[in-house]
Amino acid sequence: AAKALGRIGLPGACYAKDVYNLLEDYDMGAQVAGAAALAHLGNGAKDMAREAASRLAGFLHDPDREKRIRACKALSEMGSIGELHANEVAVLLDDVMLSVRRAAILALGGLGASGAHHAGKLVPLLKDPHLRSAAVQTLVQLGICLDDVQDQMRHEAWYVKRDILLAMSRCGTESVALSEAIMECLKDHHRDVRLAALSVLAAWPMESVALAERVLRAMLENLSEDLDIRAGAEALLACVPEHG
């Protein structure tokens, strides 16, 4: 219910006090949902949302890794109020648990300019096989250090390119900024890289997919091309408006 009120936004503001009471719930899931919802219930709930964010920030230091992870995710969903705790989230980039480090990386992507302030700490992670995907997703989402991401898209190892593209497929329209490098990957010699590049285009609006129309048609018309790739190219071309 709290999540639903958060999605409703201002019309749900009259229930702000009820949502605030969830912060006292024994279940952390209820606390997290309540805190995230308060951030979207307007100015009348702003003070309560700030207090909720402070409580969540306290969980960033909890010995329970699951609580640290959930706190990261919830703060990233609190907009400008969550941004106030970006520095505390960034501390977890050095957490002993890999899953917590990954959660912190992804959370920074939702913390706007405050999260972007820590981008320099993410660039080295583009070379970390365990955290590369999360770093790519956050950097592309924030629209910064894209030259560093592009450099890795030209890595000699096909699986590095594939992993980066699969991460970018979760970024939606933000990945259009790297369209030139993605076009190169559509022509890559490795089948899995080409397939991953198609998955990035699948998240684009049709006017952006049109940028790759020529390459997609070449894929479709190449009878020696992998069947899955030809099918993917055909599906994308079906979304491109015909020139008339």
pTM: 0.86
Inter-residue contact 149 to 140 (CB < 8 Å): yes
22-57 per-position pLDDT tens digit: 767 667 777 777 777 777 765 666 788 888 889 889
Q: What pLDDT sits at residue 12?
A: 43
Going by C-beta distance under 8 Å and a sequence separation of 6 or more, which residues neighbour residue 148?
123, 126, 139
Q: List, run by run, the mean pLDDT of 10-residue segments along the chain (244 residues).
A: 41 58 72 75 73 90 94 91 95 98 97 95 97 98 96 96 97 95 96 97 93 94 96 93 60
- For 136-145, the pLDDT digits (tens) are 999 999 999 9
Residues in contact with 26: Cβ distance below 8 Å, sequence separation at least 6, in sequence order: none
Max CA pair span of the chain: 63
